[in-house]
């Protein structure tokens, strides 16, 4: 069974993302474990693909560091097995890596292996609902969740098609564009949450969240979770450039994680009853 629902059981979920293997395998293990100590309720583990078309410069650079450090799907699965964390894990990657893995073409071998090492679900930014049939089937077979991204431009029939297939949580993209930390969070989020209100699946907002205050605002606006990637990857990048020890970087990640998690918790108290969203 997928453990994804546990993440949303008590209060808003804090969902951090890191590219696995950035900047190297061993440090990356420490970093992911630090995120759990900092209060992560679920962790998105990025399996780097050479053409990350949905990523901004921060995560692109992380992908390059990780690939140069020798990360592969096989190493990724070893990493997940070795990882000492108890929270649910979601693998974020691009479809070609899922499609190519194993002896038969198609997503089944990848999903089977991922389930075996303890991955609970998948987010695949270049796989829209129209092309997701085979992956959805494999996820059903192995009881895994398939998370879809909903953009500010997603409406009407498209939205329904996505919501028919989604499980675990919806990834609400806070603004148009690619990943990357922002100075302020977009007000497109509220409208997206309103559009999604009729569906009974947790809504986690991501793309641009950088501070505890952002987290609080987003949760106050009705999100069930917040997803933070680039702001954490920035910490890894900076530590790497300055030659800081993995332990120091891990501490900073834990502190940042706590700030974001506390922000999310504060956001619950700031929630105002919403007339349409009860």
Partner 1 sequence: MSTNTDGKFGDYGGQYVPEALMPAIEELEDAYERYVLENEDGFMDEFRRRLRDFGGRPTPLQRADRLSERYDREVYLKREDLVHGGAHKLNNALGQVLLAKYMGKERIVAETGAGQHGTATAMAAAHLDIPCEIYMGKRDINRQRPNVFRMRINGAEVNPVTVGRGTLKEAISETMRDWATTVETTHYVIGSVVGPHPFPSMVRDFQSVISKEARKQSREQFGGLPDSVLACAGGGSNTMGAFANFVDDEGVDLYAVEAGGSSLDVDEEKGVAPNSASLSTGGDGILHGARTKLLQDRDGQIMESHSVSSGLDYAGVGPELAYLVDERRVIPVNVDDDAALEAFHRLSQEEGIIPALETAHAFAYLHEEYENLGETVVVNVSGRGDKDLESVIEETSKRNIPNAPDMSMFQGGL
Residues near partner 1, by CB under 8 A: 49-56, 60, 64, 67, 72-74, 94-97, 99-101, 105, 125-128, 130-131, 148-155, 158, 162, 173, 176-178
**Torsion from C-alpha of 238, 88, 128, 227, nearest 10 degrees:** -40
| 147/8 Cα distance (integer angstroms) | 14
Q: Are 217 and 239 in contact (CB under 8 A)?
A: no
In terms of CB distance, is 129 or 220 closer to partner 1? 129
In terms of CB distance, is 131 or 238 closer to partner 1? 131
In terms of CB distance, is 116 or 130 closer to partner 1? 130
In terms of Cα–Cα distance, which of 37, 23, 26, 18 is closest to 251?
37
In terms of CB distance, is 24 or 244 closer to partner 1? 24
Within 13 Å of residue 102, how many CA atoms lie on the same side as its CB? 14
In terms of CB distance, is 82 or 130 closer to partner 1? 130
Specify the 3-state DSSP secondary structure of 25.
Answer: helix
Shortest spacing between CB 151 and partner 1, in angstroms = 4
**21 phi-psi bin (left φ>0, alpha ψ -120 to 50, beta other):** left
Shortest spacing between CB 82 and partner 1, in angstroms = 19
Q: How far is CA 84 from the centre of its chain?
A: 18
**Torsion 163-121-252-220 (CA) sign:** positive
Shortest spacing between CB 189 and partner 1, in angstroms = 14
DSSP string, 166-209: --S-EEEE-SSS-----SS--THHHHHHHHHTTS-S-EEEESS-
DSSP 8-state symbol, 131: G
Within 13 Å of residue 255, how many CA atoms lie on the same side as its CB? 8
| 27/250 Cα distance (integer angstroms) | 8
Shortest spacing between CB 191 and partner 1, in angstroms = 14
| Enzyme catalytic residues | 44, 55
Shortest spacing between CB 176 and partner 1, in angstroms = 5
């Amino acid at each position: 069974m997928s453990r994804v629902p546990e993440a949303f059981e008590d209060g808003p979920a804090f969902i951090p993302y890191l590219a696995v293997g950035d900047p190297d395998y061993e440090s990356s293990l420490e970093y992911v474990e630090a995120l759990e100590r900092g209060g992560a309720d679920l962790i998105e583990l990025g399996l780097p693909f050479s053409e990350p078309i949905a990523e901004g410069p921060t995560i692109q650079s992380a992908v390059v560091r990780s690939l140069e450090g020798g990360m592969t799907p096989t190493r990724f699965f070893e990493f997940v097995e070795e990882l000492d964390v108890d929270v649910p894990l979601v693998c974020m990657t691009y479809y070609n890596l899922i499609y190519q893995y194993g002896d038969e073409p198609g997503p089944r071998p990848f999903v089977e292996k991922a389930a075996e090492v303890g991955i609970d679900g998948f987010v695949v930014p270049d796989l829209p609902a129209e092309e997701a049939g085979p992956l959805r089937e494999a996820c059903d077979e192995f009881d895994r969740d398939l998370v879809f991204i909903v953009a500010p431009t997603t409406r009407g029939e498209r939205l329904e098609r996505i919501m028919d297939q989604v499980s675990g949580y919806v990834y609400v993209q806070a603004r148009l564009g690619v990943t990357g930390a922002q100075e302020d969070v977009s007000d497109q989020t509220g409208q997206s949450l309103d559009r999604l209100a009729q569906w009974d699946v947790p809504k986690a907002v991501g793309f641009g969240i950088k501070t505890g205050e952002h987290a609080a605002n987003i949760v106050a606006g009705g999100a069930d979770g917040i997803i933070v990637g680039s702001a954490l990857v920035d910490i890894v990048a900076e530590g790497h450039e300055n030659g800081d020890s993995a332990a120091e970087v891990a501490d900073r990640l834990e502190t940042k994680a706590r700030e974001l998690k506390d922000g999310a918790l504060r956001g619950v108290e700031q929630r105002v009853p919403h007339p349409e969203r009860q």
